[in-house]
Amino acid sequence: MYERILVVGLACADIISVVQDYPEEDSDQRVLDYYWQRGGNAANTSCVLSLLGARSEFLGTFATDREAEFLKEVFQKYNVITENCVTCTDNVKTPTSIVITNSKNGSRTILHHGKNWPEIKPEHFKKLDLTQYKWIHFEGRPSCDDIKDMLLWIDEYNKNADKDARIRTSLEIEKTNRIGLDALFDTADTLFVSKDFVKSRGYKTKEEGVHELSAKCREGSEIICPWGEEGAVAVGTDGMLHSSPAFPPKLLQGQNMETFSSWTNIHSVLKNSHEHDVKDYKDIDTECSDKVDPKSIPCSTHSERNCLIYCRNCDQSLCPSCLINPSDQVELARIYDYKKIHQKITERQRVLTQEGEELFRKLEGIWNPKNNPISQEKERITNIEKDLKHRKTEFENALEASWPSNIFPVFEKINKVLPSQLTLNVKPPILSYIESRSKDSYFGSIIQVPELKLLHTFNIELPDISAIGTLNAETKVLYSAKTTCFQHFTITNFEMFKCFDYKGSFKEFDSSTRVVDMADYRGNILISDESLGNEIMHICHYISQTKFTSISKLLPCGVHTTEDNIFVGYCYTRNFTGQSSGIITLNSTGSEIRRFESRGGRERLFSFPAKITTNINNDICIID
């Protein structure tokens, strides 16, 4: 049976648009080129392994849309096995990346969509015949617990297998924000960690990162970290640190590299024209009337290379060396003319150096580090400090002698006017004393009265403001009781911009509606209202209003939300008399956790808790 290499992870469709310039918002322009290609780390890895001669298999999930059919065709083209993949019949779409490539600087802007995409589950993985595989590689997807379960399943298989039949495992850890990846370090034989992941964990160099992270790996494993143009570093199975510089790949004679399919697009982009008729030699075999194989035509410039593509407009055949390091192609050579680029950079560096030196000379005329008001003031204060220390020493010596004849002459000598200079006008804070109302305390509290400053005022179209809330750092919400209208607005550079407003189009909202309080709740608002009885309502913009929860026979007052809890003030009647009032703590689903009503069952805490908030210490603060 064949020994396969299995790659587990994601396959997605990349839709690439090559543009002349990166588009401005709300603009229209033609693209230079447009094409689909396979994407996803696991899918790319499986195809490259197949190109290198391995018996490669991809294990992932497919949808039933056109994009999924495209991916299956690509896998079939590269002889990648997909027979064990799972097809999802639910209403899911293939993950897609919209890629905008700027032809001028090569930048790529990627817009990815992969909402609710199902990953491979352990119960499906455990149905595989593991005797077919010699190596299983996992892409570090968000389903970390499932990945760990599958790796442990392989470990159990290896315990009962002969040494030669054991499966080697590897894991790719790339993304920095996926929770649970750190717990997978001791589950695989080989780990590939990205530069971004190492730097996100606080390590400055690739050597430091790999050395520290290797301590989390299982015994006898290896960890590898590529670092871009600086090369790569690894800790091998021997525990030693190994490094390699970066070097360009060598193209082998007659080897069909995966990236060659994009050379036709690159050629058109570099020619700045989408109308060049470029043909791939592998696609024009049937167009030749004679028995000449176009793929065996040697390059006129690089005799050791065979040509890949032919451009009818340029009337030239191009080989991999022409495309990667062009020589006689005028347009391409202009881009790869390193000497001219280096000369321009050197000239610009010389100009910047001259400008910097001139700027330093101007700054020296404006500010002298050795002679300026700050250094002069520092010297004056230092002299005063020395003088005061000298007087103190003389006076202490005279007191130690205990003779009046020594003390009085010294006193006259040091009794000088102390030098002083007002350098800072310090305004004492305004303090206020609040007497304690507790019978158990004889003391009150002294608080500092905060200074309030009016920065700006805004005019609104509403006749009144009954409640105001904040959804996020930008959006605020106003409520008008007279018009039963909610208004969303933002404030930018001291200017108010109204987003939208809406009225309650439901029967609960009428002219008698009066919102007591409201608070933001997951991007929307919760309100308590006098006319709604014991209900807390959930407003989703102008689309709908739903009942969030009710608090039995109690009447809600103030409402406040935190990341984990919802606090609701309540009373039994609106006339503030009779039974006690209090605070209810709810969870995110509206279920009661606890309530605060009195101290020790005797002393009443609240009468009408109208406003509630929390401070940075998570203390509950109430306006009663």
Domains and CATH numbers, the chain: 4-273 (3.40.1190.20), 474-544 (no CATH), 550-623 (no CATH)
**Long-range contacts of the stretch 268-272 (C-beta < 8 A, 24+):** 268/32, 268/33, 269/18, 269/32, 269/33, 269/103, 270/331, 270/332, 270/335, 271/313, 271/314, 271/331, 272/20, 272/32, 272/103
Mean pLDDT, residues 118-125: 92
- Looking at residue 545, its pLDDT comes to 60
Burial readout 379-418 (b: 16 or more C-beta within 10 A, e: otherwise):
eeeeeeeeeeeebeeebeebeeeeeeeeeeebeeebeeee
Q: Which of 50-59, 325-334, 445-454 has the lowest mean pLDDT?
A: 325-334
CA distance 600 to 605: 10
Mean pLDDT, residues 538-545: 51
Mean pLDDT, residues 423-433: 57
213 burial type by CB count under 10 A (0-12 exposed, 13-18 middle, 19+ buried)? buried
- Looking at residue 431, its pLDDT comes to 64
Q: How confident is the model at residue 260 (pLDDT cuts 50, 70, 90)?
A: very low
The single-letter DSSP state of residue 261 is G
Computed over every residue of the chain, the mean pLDDT equals 76
Mean pLDDT, residues 231-244: 90
Task: Kindly report, residue by residue over 147-168, the tens digit of the pLDDT.
Answer: 999 999 999 999 999 988 899 9
404 CB-side CA count, 13 A: 0
> Which stretches of 475-554 are assigned E, i.e. beta strand?
475-480, 485-492, 495-503, 515-521, 524-529, 535-540, 544-550
For residues 197 and 184, the answer to whether their CB atoms sit within 8 Å is no
Q: How confident is the model at residue 502 (pLDDT cuts 50, 70, 90)?
A: low
- Looking at residue 233, its pLDDT comes to 93
Handedness of CA 434, 439, 440, 442 (dihedral sign): positive
For residues 39 and 8, the answer to whether their CB atoms sit within 8 Å is no
Q: What tokens appear for 434 in the block? A: 């609040």
Is the pLDDT at 542 greater than 50? The verdict is: no
Nearest in space to 191 (alpha carbons), one of 244, 134, 236? 236
- Looking at residue 427, its pLDDT comes to 57
- Looking at residue 406, its pLDDT comes to 62
Q: How confident is the model at residue 490 (pLDDT cuts 50, 70, 90)?
A: confident
- Looking at residue 424, its pLDDT comes to 45
CA distance 113 to 110: 10
Of the chain, the percentage scoring pLDDT greater than 90 comes to 23
Task: Kindly report, residue by residue over 25-52, the tens digit of the pLDDT.
Answer: 888 888 888 899 999 999 999 999 988 8
- Looking at residue 124, its pLDDT comes to 94
Inter-axis angle of helices 404-414 and 373-401, nearest 10: 170
CA distance 513 to 516: 10
Q: Which residue has the tokens 């065709």?
A: 73
Per DSSP, the three-state class of 25 is coil
Mean pLDDT, residues 584-597: 82
Instruction: Say which residue, 10 or 438, is predicted with more confidence.
Output: 10
| Max mean pLDDT range (114-123, 338-347, 447-456) | 114-123
Is the pLDDT at 373 greater than 80? The verdict is: no
